[in-house]
Amino acid sequence: MDGEISPDEVQTLLSDDADVTVVDIRSPAGFRRGHIPGSVNVPFQRLPNEVNRLADAERIVTVCPHGKSSVQAARLVASHEGVDATSVESMAGGLDAWEYELDEKTNGDETEGPDAPF
């Protein structure tokens, strides 16, 4: 893991159309309630089995509600042998610190499953 990135830096990357994959690790229900536009939903409990979905990402930012679980998620992603991203970071402060618009549409291969405790 390469550390943390601020929500402002994430917003700048997205605004600049940088090659960044934002991975929201909340439950599908939490994701549907609102997420960073363009992010993909890979719930934390499914991340070990689905990390290969991120294999081609250039830069990865993990996101959770408060910025704690996403640190663990970033470490897991960064340690995976099949991920060659140049940078894997956690968004500091999580969605609580995100001061920009949230999207309520689904994105990616979201499937229903048991809700995580966050």
Residue numbers annotated as active site: 64
3-state secondary structure of 85: coil
User: What is the C-alpha R_g of the chain?
Assistant: 13
Residue carrying the six token digits 């439950």 = 27
Residue 109 to residue 3: CA distance in whole angstroms = 27
